[in-house]
């Protein structure tokens, strides 16, 4: 995307069944997290996604969309990212 955004968007748009221009327009306003940001969300002793996930889970249990809570931390898998060379 950084090197040739139009070509990358064209290729990714095919999978989404939209044009490259439509794909680029769909990305406007989105933030694609960096590797470091992903690690902060997924890893460490207090992963950010676990905190957010616990709040969402509580709301879903209260609304009876989930029967019971679960251990969110066990679902987060930073390993594949942390194993990559930086």
Domain segments of the chain as ranges: 1-32, 33-86
> What integer pLDDT is reported at residue 70 of this predicted model?
84
Q: What is the pLDDT of residue 46?
A: 75
pLDDT tens for each residue of 13-24: 999 999 999 999
Helix, strand, coil shares, percent, the chain, to 5: 60, 0, 40
What integer pLDDT is reported at residue 79 of this predicted model?
61
Residue among 78, 79, 53 nearest 66 (CA): 53
pLDDT for the residue numbered 80:
58
C-alpha angle with apex 23: 17 to 28, nearest 5 degrees?
A: 150
Average pLDDT of the chain?
86
| 63 — pLDDT class (breaks 50, 70, 90) | very high
Residue 71 has, within 13 A of its CA and on its CB side, a CA count of 3
Does the global pTM surpass 0.85? no
């Amino acid at each position: 995307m950084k090197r040739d955004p139009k070509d990358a968007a064209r290729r990714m748009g095919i999978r989404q069944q939209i044009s490259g221009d439509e794909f680029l327009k769909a990305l406007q306003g989105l933030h694609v997290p960096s590797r470091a940001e992903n690690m902060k969300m997924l890893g460490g002793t207090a992963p950010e996604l676990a905190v957010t996930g616990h709040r969402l889970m509580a709301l879903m249990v209260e609304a009876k969309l989930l029967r019971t809570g679960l251990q969110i931390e066990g679902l987060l898998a930073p390993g594949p990212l942390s194993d990559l060379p930086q």
